[in-house]
Structure 1
Amino acid sequence: MASSRSRYSRPTRLPLLGTTDSRTITVKLTASDDSGIKSADFTLYHGSSLSNADAVLKPSEAAPVCTADGTTSVCTAHYTIDPRRDLKNSLAGIWKVNVEADANDGDYVKVDGYTTFFMKRYAKLTANASPEPVAKGGTITVTGKLTRANWDTHDYRGYTNQRAYLEFRRPGTDYYESLGYTTTNSTGVATAKVTATADRYWRYEFRGTMTTRAVKATGDFVDVR
């Protein structure tokens, strides 16, 4: 494409999918040619290349809608993703975008794997600190459970062998401090023991992986007496 340039806008809402609710994302491509842009097309897929893709998403529109401003056009498409219809666990992680833009004078550009984005499984995390209240110098046990959406069975299952960071917040502050991490067991449960020194809110934080979103538990207050 003569005197051309293109710019891809990542999905406006990165896909984080649970087990039931669909998500709609918007994808935009900006392309230019000295003759103007006739049309564009782009495909979201999972795999090493479009020809070897094991999953492909098509836009809701028959074709991306292009709006011209001189020789530059912004082409937009929307993708509705249903985890029950479109996804399985093996599809979590990196997805790629195939793009094509056609100019009015017959020039065109086509790029497989033009850019990438992450399709992630939704995660949940709990925290429970006990006993409540506790005597100063006593032992507090903080348990939590990390689960994530299973796109094969459409429910939530424990996420095993993952780092769950134990954090505390002092009353009157709005930030948490980390004490390190423990590892979730075969059912996704994290357990840690700490010494009670003062009133604290306790929680776990999971910092995410390439396939699963990051999540923080709600803090659980322990009264130290």
Structure 2
Amino acid sequence: MVALGAGVALGLAPAAFAQAHSPAAIGSPAAADPSAPLPGAGERNPEPETGPSPAPPRDQEPGPSGPSDKPSDKPSDKPSEEPSGKPSEDPPGTPSEEPSGPPSQEPGPETAEPRIPDVTLSPEPLVSASPSTDPSAPSIGDVEVGPVRVEGFAKVTIKVRVRSAEPVTSVSASVDPWRVPLVRVSGNARDGVYVQEWGVGAGSGTREFPVTVTARTAKGSVSRPGPTITSVPGVPGAPEIEGAGAAPQILRAPGSATLRARVKGMGGRGVTKVAATLISEAAPPRHVTLSRVSGHAWNGLYEAKAHFGTVSGKTGYRLVFEATDSAGRVAAEAGTPFTVVPTPRYDITSVSGPGYVSLGKGGATVRIEATVKNGPRRVLLTQGRASAPFSHFGGDRYRIEIGLRPTMDAGRQTFKVEALNASGKAEDTRAVSFYVKRAVFFGGFDAGPEPVRKGGAITVSGTLYGLNAAGTASPGLAGHKVDILVKKAGSTTYTKVATVTTDARGRFAKGFTAAYDAHWKAVFAGTAKYAQMGTRADHVDVR
């Protein structure tokens, strides 16, 4: 019983990535530059003609040094040429044919091994998962992937622009065996840029990962193949990442998760940078740089805090950690996934307490109960600066008993019930009130004489006392009404037969004619300041 108061970030997209997007701090989405053009977005790449060339006019035949006047039916292996600038013979308004691509050229002598670019644009034309001529079908621009060659396990970035007459509901990339959800970072549902980062790698050996992007609307879906990611064995001497993950694995937001990994460097000046990327379906990739908290550059423990504000639903996060050493060698490792869930709201659905409390010489004890949804760890009863915790006694139910001192002011007392979240902030508050009254008691109560002859006189008398503000008995409560009740022998109920007023010393008396055996009581109904009280029953034998 408690007495209250006086009364109671990871690496960015590679540098060669055609449309770079800036890393964002944890809690704020990374955004691609909406003004940056995407090459060939939503367009088909022209392809060179591969069929046979048209035959020359019958009045011409190629000769050793030029055309001959001799007609020939033999088709020519050389395409006919027209002077540039020759006007079209098509009538105005006739659509012109798609121009052919540049003529093929013989490759020159190989002088060096060709460099695999960091970003490759898919040359394949748009392919519909469900062939349709519907003009509202989405148009997927060039699929950008970087890098397309990874060593061991590494992070890659996928980026695409999607246009559609109908709002796009989702965009995803198939990177065997994963389905990677892309997140819109700029634009809108009819014309937007979608980005995602993912960890890809085969561990040992060489493996290829084809990439295909699919855009969906309410009317269907369209897919477009992109570049193929090639994973080759890792670089010897690259840093080693161990124990990568986040704690806790289930985080109630708002709150912070600790990202942690041990990294070992093999030479030089050791490890120079450790970063992590957080990947989810609900937001663009998030990046954070880890700091070394123990050890040294060749074997150290790295940590960082990732803060999450209020979330509306459950969100899963994949983690990719990257470590760079002084020689520029980069290693990556998948971290243990974790989940962010919204902290349940703590709603106080009910509060119950007494209507009034009677203060006796030792004060009083008050019990208050509350029902709070989702069972928070802390529920408080407060009044001013004073507070006391409730006890949890099962389910959503909480209870507290508080002690009131005998000197507490009489009258209405109001307290607050507060349900606190993990941050110590009150999520819901409910008021509870009751009246504090001073106790009263009767002294010298008597009904007599007893026994008495039938028809004789009976007097009911006593004195009414009350506790004062100091918690001691007053000399007597003057001017207060007292009811006299009687219960006839054989009856189960009392009947009020008179009301009397106490004198200056709190005394009262009332005479009656004896008619039958009965029990007599005096009752004080109470006031705003004093509690109600009744006497014990006094039996009178009438003969």
Relative to the length of structure 2, the TM-score reads: 0.33
Q: 5 Å matches for 1:135-154?
A: 135-152=453-470, 154=472
**Partner of 1:16 in structure 2?**
358
CA gap 1:67/1:149 in 2 versus in 1, 3 angstroms: same
**Partner of 1:190 in structure 2?**
508
**What is the alpha-carbon distance in structure 2 between the residues aligned to residue 144 and residue 128 of structure 1?**
6
Q: Return the letter of the residue paired with 1:103.
A: N
Identity percentage of aligned residues: 25
**Partner of 1:109 in structure 2?**
428
CA gap 1:64/1:201 in 2 versus in 1, 3 angstroms: closer
**What is the alpha-carbon distance in structure 2 between the residues aligned to residue 146 and residue 162 of structure 1?**
8
Tell me the CA shift for residue 82 of structure 1: 3.3
CA gap 1:166/1:30 in 2 versus in 1, 3 angstroms: same
Q: Which runs of 5+ in 2 are unaligned?
A: 1-343
CA RMSD of aligned residues (A): 3.0
Query: Which protein has the bigger strand share?
Result: 1
Structure 1 residue 42 corresponds to structure 2 residue 381: yes
Count, aligned residues: 198
Q: 5 Å matches for 1:172-187?
A: 172-187=490-505
**Partner of 2:369 in structure 1?**
28
Tell me the secondary structure at the aligned position of residue 528 of structure 2: coil
Tell me the secondary structure at the aligned position of residue 110 of structure 1: strand
Tell me if structure 2 keeps the 8 A contact 1:146–1:158.
Answer: yes
Provide, for residues 118-164 of structure 1, a one-character-per-residue CA deviation record: whole Å limited to 9, x for no partner. 22222212531233333433332211222122231523442222221
Tell me the secondary structure at the aligned position of residue 15 of structure 1: strand
Correspondence for 1:65 among 367, 391, 395:
391
Say which is worse superposed, 24-33 or 93-102, in terms of deviation: 24-33
Tell me if structure 2 keeps the 8 A contact 1:149–1:157.
Answer: no
**Partner of 1:202 in structure 2?**
520
Relative to the length of structure 1, the TM-score reads: 0.72
Tell me the secondary structure at the aligned position of residue 158 of structure 1: coil
**Partner of 1:4 in structure 2?**
347
Query: Which protein has the bigger helix share?
Result: 1
CA gap 1:117/1:179 in 2 versus in 1, 3 angstroms: same
**Partner of 2:321 in structure 1?**
none
Tell me if structure 2 keeps the 8 A contact 1:57–1:79.
Answer: no
Tell me the CA shift for residue 3 of structure 1: 7.9
**What is the alpha-carbon distance in structure 2 between the residues aligned to residue 153 and residue 8 of structure 1?**
29
CA gap 1:188/1:104 in 2 versus in 1, 3 angstroms: same
**What is the alpha-carbon distance in structure 1 between the residues aligned to residue 541 and residue 373 of structure 2?**
63
**Partner of 1:166 in structure 2?**
484
Correspondence for 1:76 among 393, 399, 403:
399
**What is the alpha-carbon distance in structure 1 between the residues aligned to residue 461 and residue 533 of structure 2?**
16
Tell me if structure 2 keeps the 8 A contact 1:2–1:107.
Answer: no
Tell me the CA shift for residue 38 of structure 1: 4.7
